[in-house]
Amino acid sequence: MNGVHPRSRTGEIDWTALEHAYGDASDVPGWIEGLEDSATVEQSLHELWGAVLHQGTLYDSTAPAMTQIAAALGARRTADAESTAWLLLMFADAVNDYEQVDNDAETAALVRSARAALTGIAALVGPLICDDGPEAAAAALLQSAALPADSGKSAVDSTVLDTLVARAASRPAGQVEQACVAALTTLGADATSALADRDPGLVMAGTLARVASRRDEPSDLDALIAGWELAVEVAPNIAFGVDNLPEWLSAVNPDAAAHVLAALPVPDETTIAGLVDVVLGSRSNAPAAVRRLLAIAALPESGPETMIAALRQCPPMPEVRDALVTLAAQVTSGGTATLGSSSFETDARVDAAFALLRAGDGRWSRPLTDALLTNPAARGLMVATSASARSALGYALVRAQAPAGTLLTVAILHALRQTPPADPSRDGAGQLIALLGSWPAAATADAISAVRELLASAPKQAADALAGWNDTASIGHVREAARGGDATVLLALARLTKDPNDFHRVLDADLRYTESEVIAHWDDRSDPRFLDWCRGLVGTEPATSIPERGNQLAALRVLADSDAREAAHGWPILRGIIDAGTEPIEDAVRLALDWRAGQLLPPEAVADSSALLADLVITDRKNYNGPLIKAGVIAAIALLDSELPLPGTPARIAKIVARAVTDRWARDLGLRLTERLTSAPAAVRGAVVKKLRPLVERDERFDSTDDIAVEDEWALTRLRPILHAVESA
């Protein structure tokens, strides 16, 4: 790590040897100097946030840059002191976030360096505490944020404590004084003199600080409930980034949040959102928060849309599902939501239906059917798949493998007959057609003629659906649509006619983004022209993009199926894809195992593949985000599938398992590997149990790709019996 003395000038640092999100950090000194000019300060802050502290990420340039920023701020040379001060608090917040997770050795060293830099930063901005304005408050908060949570006042220079106490005693008390009391309270220092006159704002600042540091007493929670309106005003002054008190409270102290938010007499939307945050963040406090949400949902004045948005994120216990059904029946129309610069059509009935479908509740189709039949914008509906993400309705239902239904088919066709929205980007008709196409022809017989009529407006999806149903009666209609030359439509025509000439016409089209479909649906796998095209997809080197690597793998499989000698020829490319550890690593390893099982690889390649898999287990593959977690766990499963021993120490195997189980993208693989370890040596099983048991018992939920609490409960339901089996083996 690059250590930087707090008072070093930017010119004394070799910025070209450091990096930020977009490359070497040679542009950082210019941005820091830009903070001193009112004409450039806004852009400089934007660049520093976006590159040096990109989305809260730490780089080796981050700590030196923040130190120099603090020096400029402390010397009162910045043109926007408030925003500059908050940038430093964002840095402190990022360091704290990093310290809450299990980092690899390199990242851990980076975090230690950043924490050390914060001590110097606090000293540099300390003189600002005597000023007025938000930057003075931020300087006060940095005094406590610069130290690890368990450091206490003994780690703070007594002069700093004296400065905080003196400023906290200033009257009239305001934002800066409240920040000083919060800092003193967080540090465990004595703020008695400042609180002698019981100034309400300062008392609340101390209360909130104790709650945030989890040193609260029951009387603090009572005071917070009684003085909630005052707390809403004070909270932004005593902590970084508090835009919403319930949200902040649930993040810093779920126990307190569950108690306080459940006790507020008049719940508003922010309180409801805070209760949801408790559900998402705390396993132990979720039941109380869910009970309170269910009670609010039963109130006559509660808006069904608001409560559906809250309850659909809760673990799908029977009471929650019943409430979703009841609430959905109260909704009669949809609405429009905005995310950034985009707007989209919503309907709470659809969100409730999707939550019920995902929970396996057979009542899911009724609210969905109602929405499709009565909402005039049904063909453009977006459905909530997480707290912050939405997908086109048809796409989400295909992913969730929604089953067919007669009434639902009628409702979808009704929606497809609606007038398209003026903005084509808001039209989800194609995704709804794809949903129909995912169902068997026997279940959608009544939809075939309607889908034919949609060939003009949605040719890709309509043609693909007709081909999937093998509706040869539509050949003439699809052939007409294929005159436009679209590869997907041409492929659908070929699938229907089985004519080699029609398949060859597909290869004459622009096949970008459709290569995988062509491989999947090509009829004659021995067609020389098709095989030559596959060889072109394979090329001579592993591709640089995930879709292209996926096409390479599919083409390699086709070629080896047509001629066993192609496997040996393609092994170097397949090996390169596996060795990189990047997606689609699971497909790549599966292909290698299939070739081994079919005895398509020469002995030296078989030995090489075994050694490569072992190396993936022992040695992390990395990208700019850190270790590629899937690579090691997939390789371990492959070795076990091949009846080969797992390499590495028990601690290494346990680390691979734990990282996968806690990773949103690799969790299923981690659970599969854990299941396989019941026959592993006792030392391996013991190490795995030691790693996984705290994950099952901890209060924090697993991260997820969709709704956190729902996926976490699903993961625990699977993990607990697996862990018991490993322990008992």
pLDDT digits (tens, 9 = 90+) for 653-702: 999 999 999 999 999 999 999 999 999 999 999 999 999 999 999 999 99
Q: Judge if 96 and 140 occupy the same domain.
A: yes
Q: How far apart are CA 58 and CA 423, in angstroms?
A: 40
Domain of 104?
Answer: 1-146
Q: How far apart are CA 352 and CA 412, in angstroms?
A: 17
> Domains in the chain: how many in total?
3
Q: Judge if 605 and 662 occupy the same domain.
A: no
Q: Judge if 125 and 8 occupy the same domain.
A: yes
C-alpha closest to that of 609 among 595, 630, 623: 595
* Type of residue numbered 116: A
Q: How far apart are CA 504 and CA 513, in angstroms?
A: 18
pTM equals 0.89
Residue 265: burial class (beta carbons within 10 Å; 0-12, 13-18, 19+): exposed
In a domain, 124, yes or no: yes
What is the per-residue pLDDT for 150? 62
> With 60 as the cut, is the pLDDT of residue 5 above it?
no
In a domain, 227, yes or no: no
Compute φ and ψ for 344, nearest 5 degrees.
Answer: -155, 160
- CB distance 130 to 163 below 8 Å: yes
CA triplet 401, 405, 409: central angle to 5 degrees?
Answer: 100
CB-facing half-sphere around the CA of 386: CA atoms within 13 A:
11
> With 90 as the cut, is the pLDDT of residue 104 above it?
no
Q: Judge if 629 and 578 occupy the same domain.
A: yes
pLDDT grade for 4, boundaries at 50, 70 and 90? very low
DSSP letter (8 states) at residue 102? -
pLDDT grade for 472, boundaries at 50, 70 and 90? very high
- The DSSP secondary structure of 550-596, one letter per residue, reads HHHHHHHHHHHHH-THHHHHHHHHHHHHHHHT-SSHHHHHHHHHHHH
Q: Facing residues of 391 across strands?
A: 383
In a domain, 180, yes or no: no
CA triplet 198, 203, 207: central angle to 5 degrees?
Answer: 150
> With 80 as the cut, is the pLDDT of residue 11 above it?
no
Q: Facing residues of 622 across strands?
A: 627
C-alpha closest to that of 406 among 374, 431, 430, 440: 440
Q: Measured on CA atoms in the order 653, 654, 658, 661, is the torsion positive or negative?
A: positive
C-alpha closest to that of 416 among 461, 385, 384, 383: 461
In a domain, 480, yes or no: no
Query: Considering 625, 646, 667, which residue would you say is the last residue of a domain?
Result: 646
Give the N- to C-terminal CA distance of the chain in Å, as an integer.
Answer: 44
> With 60 as the cut, is the pLDDT of residue 225 above it?
yes
- CB distance 24 to 60 below 8 Å: no
Least confident range from 419-428, 432-441, 545-554: namely: 419-428
Q: How many CB atoms lie within 10 A of CB 389?
A: 14
pLDDT tens string 594-603: 999 999 999 9
What is the per-residue pLDDT for 153? 56
Radius of gyration of the chain, Cα coordinates, nearest whole angstrom: 30
Average pLDDT score, the chain = 94
Cα–Cα distance list, 101 to 60, 96, 111, 115, 706 (Å) = 19, 9, 11, 15, 21
Q: How many CB atoms lie within 10 A of CB 296?
A: 19
Q: Facing residues of 343 across strands?
A: 338
Q: Judge if 559 and 634 occupy the same domain.
A: yes
pLDDT grade for 155, boundaries at 50, 70 and 90? low
* Type of residue numbered 338: T
CA triplet 160, 251, 118: central angle to 5 degrees?
Answer: 30
- CB distance 259 to 221 below 8 Å: yes
Helices marked H in 169-317:
175-187, 200-212, 218-226, 228-238, 245-252, 254-263, 269-281, 286-297, 304-311
In a domain, 709, yes or no: yes
pLDDT grade for 205, boundaries at 50, 70 and 90? very high
Q: Judge if 615 and 593 occupy the same domain.
A: yes
Query: Considering 627, 646, 665, which residue would you say is the last residue of a domain?
Result: 646
Query: Considering 100, 124, 146, which residue would you say is the last residue of a domain?
Result: 146
Q: Judge if 104 and 56 occupy the same domain.
A: yes
Which tokens sit at 16?
Answer: 């070209």
CB-facing half-sphere around the CA of 419: CA atoms within 13 A:
4
Q: At what angle do helices 667-676 and 650-662 cross, to 10 degrees?
A: 140
Q: Judge if 611 and 537 occupy the same domain.
A: yes
pLDDT tens string 318-347: 999 999 999 999 999 999 988 777 789 999
In a domain, 697, yes or no: yes
C-alpha closest to that of 556 among 601, 618, 511: 601
Q: Judge if 609 and 653 occupy the same domain.
A: no
User: What SS3 string covers 413-482?
Assistant: HHHHCCCCCCCHHHCCHHHHHHHHHCCCHHHCHHHHHHHHHCCCCCHHHHHHHHHHCCCHHHHHHHHHHH
Q: How many CB atoms lie within 10 A of CB 16?
A: 10
> With 70 as the cut, is the pLDDT of residue 374 above it?
yes
- CB distance 494 to 502 below 8 Å: yes
Q: Judge if 553 and 657 occupy the same domain.
A: no
In a domain, 433, yes or no: no
Beta strands in 577-696 (DSSP E): 622-623, 626-627
> With 90 as the cut, is the pLDDT of residue 95 above it?
yes
pLDDT grade for 7, boundaries at 50, 70 and 90? very low
Q: How many CB atoms lie within 10 A of CB 338?
A: 8
In a domain, 269, yes or no: no
| Cis peptide leading into residue 584 (ω within 30°) | yes
Q: Judge if 65 and 6 occupy the same domain.
A: yes
C-alpha closest to that of 576 among 625, 535, 539, 530: 539
What is the per-residue pLDDT for 3? 38
Q: How far apart are CA 653 and CA 669, in angstroms?
A: 13
Cα–Cα distance list, 34 to 21, 31, 40, 60, 587 (Å) = 19, 5, 5, 21, 49
| Cis peptide leading into residue 172 (ω within 30°) | yes
Q: Judge if 659 and 611 occupy the same domain.
A: no
- The DSSP secondary structure of 114-151, one letter per residue, reads HHHHHHHHHHHHGGGGGS-SHHHHHHHHHHHHTS-TT-
Q: How far apart are CA 14 and CA 228, in angstroms?
A: 50
Which tokens sit at 433?
Answer: 């057609």
> With 50 as the cut, is the pLDDT of residue 211 above it?
yes
Element (H, E) at 12: none
